[in-house]
Amino acid sequence: MTDESYNKPGHVLKLYITGASVNSAKAISNIKQICEKHLKDSYQLEIIDVYQQPALAKQEQIVALPLLVKSHPLPVKRLVGNMSDTDKVLKGLELA
């Protein structure tokens, strides 16, 4: 992420997944739909495959996947699961 990304308003999200698993695919699809519907041009979403980037998973102390981390705006929030419970995700992102 560049310094420029922190100058933009909105939500900064990272979705940690495990390869091409069914749960990972669902999480990606669900969070993209939620972001497009509720955040429209006001978010950044980075998808991180922990199989390809294990150091990031260790650095973030990830113990369950898929994991969505909202780092901006504060406070930092972590949501585990395939993001299918839209109400839970919206509350976690403080949009409900």
Q: What does the pLDDT look like over 58-76, one tens digit per residue?
A: 888 888 899 999 999 999 9
Encode 73-90: b = buried (16+ Cβ within 10 Å), e = exposed: eeeebebebbbeeeeebe
Q: Are 76 and 11 in contact (CB under 8 A)?
A: no
Which tens digits make up the pLDDT trace of 29-56?
A: 999 999 999 998 899 999 999 999 999 8
DSSP notation for 58-69 = HHTT--SSSEEE
Instruction: Map out the domains of the chain with their CATH numbers.
Output: 11-92 (3.40.30.10)
Position 12 pLDDT exceeds 50: yes
